[in-house]
Amino acid sequence: MRRSAFRRSRGDGPFRFVSTGAGVILLAVMAAIGVFLIIKAIPALQANTAHFLTELTWSPNATEPAFGIGSLAFGTVLSSFLALIIATPVAVGVALFISHYAPRRLASLLGYVVDLLAAVPSVVYGLWGVTFLVPFMLGPSKFLNTYFGWIPIFGGDQVVGKSMLTASLVLAIMILPIIAAISREVFLQAPKIQEEAALALGATRWEMIRMAVLPFGRPGVISAAMLGLGRAMGETIAVALIFPATFNISFRILSANGNSIAANIANGFGEATEVGRGALIASGLVLFVITLLVNMAARLVIARRKEYARAAA
Amino acid sequence: MAKQIEVSDLDAYYGSHKAIAGVTMTIEPRAVTAFIGPSGCGKSTFLRTLNRMHEVIPGARVEGKVRLEDEDLYGPNVDPVSVRRTIGMVFQRPNPFPTMSIFDNVAAGLRLNGRFSRSELNGIVEESLKGANLWNEVKDRLGKPGAGLSGGQQQRLCIARAIAVRPQVLLMDEPCSALDPISTLAIEDLISRLKLDYTIVIVTHNMQQAARVSDKTAFFNLAAQGQPGMLVEMDETSKIFTNPAKKATEDYITGRFG
Ligand SMILES: Nc1ncnc2c1ncn2[C@@H]1O[C@H](COP(=O)(O)OP(=O)(O)OP(=O)(O)O)[C@@H](O)[C@H]1O
Ligand SMILES: [Mg+2]
């Protein structure tokens, strides 16, 4: 039989085998982990005397275990979103400065510093937060409370250093470098021909950025922000050191409120009973679901901009 | 509207690399001037020095004088941004803003320049698209992305965008090199009409195109490999193509090199 001129090239077979195998194994391991965690969580959820999704308090180690994810999920989402709102504009500004404003030498130095900061372990930020930021924030927090207390989130009678605001700030500082680093990469890839089109029309540098760089970079910035949000939500040590570990729902970010799923796990796993551990694992699964939802939402936002992204290519 | 450009003894550098040296020429208003010459001889570089686009490349700089009528474009108090608003540019590759609609692409320069009412904008956008010979093809989809047009339409959109701000000079760097013969003819027609109002400079590798559309032709060449580019001669297009003064020009246009 004549050999076809279109036969599969030889390297393809083994490569396909290896890559498919790796993919299957990865999925199997993840499924196994998920099943293991769910099996651990079920007995605790059955022993729970409160409603897991709505209960605010957390006492799974009592003889009558009663615990719920309510306040923890709230604290996780609030602190992460505050961090995101604080970090993203600053990160985008830093990224634009590096990609389009700074002279070349300064830009590469700054880029290096940002990459370095993105690699700092979170516990370092946590320790810095506790030793420096917690006492430092007392002054600004009192100021906000006194003069902007009429805005509900700055209201309240007692103002403390270990507050939701301080924790969110530490998270913001922690996720800022990663958002800045990714945004800078995206901004650097903005097509030169469109930048020149804007400049040739008589755009100033900022106008050029608004016309040719930001629209191009938006999906990338959203992805970077979501990556940062995911990090903030999963962050354990940095916030475990700072959150006052209360179990209530309050928007007063200057008062002693705040906790998160990850911080609660870090603080509680050591002394937990069998049921207590199951309860913490269940909370971890909730965190996983929240992160998943956030990621899906981000993908939707990016997909909605696809038409433009495709047009830009 | 149209103004004359006078260049004297102009050098352009990329870092320490001297790309063009000692160019002196006068570009007439309400006429088309074509730049021809072998690849790498500095036509694009020189064109970009005329509206101060050269210096947006890091390390690039210019020495010498460029005057638009009485104004020194490289004078100490001249804002390059306002120079670019006065001297428009069309690039080799069509570069509409992909995230903007056709309408917004044409209006982009106007919105930079100042406040226009919606009806003023509508009027100028329509007029510019008509001027660029594109109106009939896009009038029913002004809200659609500019990147959804064909290459030739995109290039005419870029021309519409450039003339919407009523520049005094229009610089075009090989505007037809990515286009088919029909789109090319459409743009050549357009150039012949635009020269009634504008000073036009066009870089082209197409000798027939230079002969068809231009009134004056400037031939650039490298003195030698590794040397900066320079202006060999500039004259009436008919003279350059029938009876050039320099041997190098004749060799080039008859295809003996380059
Ligand atoms: N961005 C740049 N950085 C450094 N050198 C450059 C840059 N652009 C052009 N040059 C150099 O300047 C010289 C002139 O280039 P230019 O693009 O002006 O030539 P050209 O005549 O337009 O060529 P072509 O007909 O191929 O477009 C070349 O030696 C080129 O290598
Ligand atoms: Mg060129």
Distance of residue B171 Cα from the nearest chain A Cα, in angstroms: 10
Specify the range with the lowest mean pLDDT, choosing from A8-17, A57-66, A158-167. A8-17
Give the one of A196, A202, A211 whose C-beta lies nearest to B91's C-beta.
A196
What mean pLDDT, rounded, does chain B reach? 92
Structure confidence by residue, pLDDT tens digits, A86-122: 999 999 999 999 999 999 899 999 999 999 999 999 8
Query: Given an 8 Å threshold on Cβ–Cβ distance, is A211 in contact with B97?
Result: yes
User: Residue with structure tokens 């056709």?
Assistant: B102
Which candidate in B47, B50, B81 is best for mutational testing of the A interface (most A CBs within 10 A)?
Answer: B81
pLDDT of residue A313: 44
Query: Does the C-beta of B56 come closer than 6 Å to ligand 1?
Result: no
Which candidate in B112, B124, B150 is best for mutational testing of the A interface (most A CBs within 10 A)?
Answer: B112
Q: Identify the residue whose C-alpha is closest to ligand 1 atom 6.
A: B14
Query: Does the C-beta of B57 come closer than 6 Å to ligand 1?
Result: yes
Percent above pLDDT 70 for chain A: 94
DSSP state letter for A2: P
Residues of B with CB under 8 A from a CB of A: 51, 53, 56, 58, 81-82, 84-86, 88-89, 91, 93, 95-100, 108-109, 112-113, 145, 147-148, 158, 161-162, 165
Strand, coil or helix: what is B53? coil
CATH code, residues A66-312: 1.10.3720.10
Query: Given an 8 Å threshold on Cβ–Cβ distance, is B98 in contact with A104?
Result: no
Q: Which of A90, A224, A232, A222 is nearest to A164 (CA)?
A: A232
Say which amino acid occupies B74.
Y
Structure confidence by residue, pLDDT tens digits, B7-63: 999 999 999 999 999 999 999 999 999 999 999 999 999 999 999 999 999 899 999
Res. A11: pLDDT tops 50: yes
Q: What is the reported pTM?
A: 0.85
What mean pLDDT, rounded, does chain A reach? 89
Token pair of A297 as six digits: 């939402």
pLDDT of residue B180: 82
Distance of residue B223 Cα from the nearest chain A Cα, in angstroms: 30
Contact partners, residue A95, CB within 8 Å, separation at least 6: A179, A180, A181, A183, A184, A186, A187
Q: Which ligand is nearest to the CA of B173?
A: 2
Residues of B116-143 as b/e, b for ≥16 C-beta within 10 angstroms?
eeeeebeebbbebbebbbbbebbeeebe
Structure confidence by residue, pLDDT tens digits, B66-99: 999 889 999 999 999 999 999 999 999 999 999 8
Helix (H) or strand (E) holding B231: strand B229-236
pLDDT of residue A196: 95
Say which amino acid occupies A220.
G
pLDDT of residue A297: 85
Rounded to whole angstroms, how far apart are CA atoms B162 and B205?
22
Query: Given an 8 Å threshold on Cβ–Cβ distance, is A199 in contact with B145?
Result: no
Residue ranges of the domains in chain A? 66-312
> Is-contact B121 B202, C-beta < 8 A?
no
Is B5-99+169-253 in CATH node 3.30.830.10?
A: no
pLDDT of residue A308: 52
Structure confidence by residue, pLDDT tens digits, B142-178: 999 988 898 889 999 999 999 999 899 999 999 988 7
> Is-contact A140 A54, C-beta < 8 A?
no
